[in-house]
Amino acid sequence: MAQEGPGRFPEDGVGKQQSSLEDRLQAARRAEAERTGKALPPPRKGYQQGSRVLTELIAGPAGGALIGWLLDRWLGTSPWLLLVMLFAGIGVAFRNIYRISNERPE
């Protein structure tokens, strides 16, 4: 059995203190999550515009390439329609990004 003395705890007291500490830590984490979870501001207009630009940069060329690939498979004109539609998708994406950049944030 462990000896009691300065700086030493009885074994049953250590478990009680440890569970008490864990309870306090859990309560502090819940309070912090509650405090920060409710205080988050809504995304700003600039963040939304950035997300739209990223979507256009990905979806425009990918959509054009997919349509071109499907038309190439159907018409047997590989790789010409794929290339034409890919560049058309890039052009449409840049046009939409230009339009997004002309919008004023709030």
pLDDT for 63-100, tens place per residue? Answer: 999 999 999 999 999 899 999 999 999 999 999 999 99
Please give the pLDDT value at position 68: 97
DSSP for 15-54, please give it.
HHHHHHHHHHHHHHHHHHHHHHHHSPPPPPHHHHHHHHHH
Domain ranges in the chain are: 9-40, 45-102
Summarize pLDDT for 2-57 with one digit per residue, the tens: 555 555 555 555 566 667 888 888 888 888 777 777 555 566 777 888 899 999 99
DSSP 3-state assignment of 86?
helix
Per DSSP, the three-state class of 8 is coil
pLDDT for position 16: 63
- Which tokens go with 22? 């864990």
Q: What is the largest CA-CA distance in the chain?
A: 89
Query: CB–CB of 71/81 below 8 Å?
Result: yes
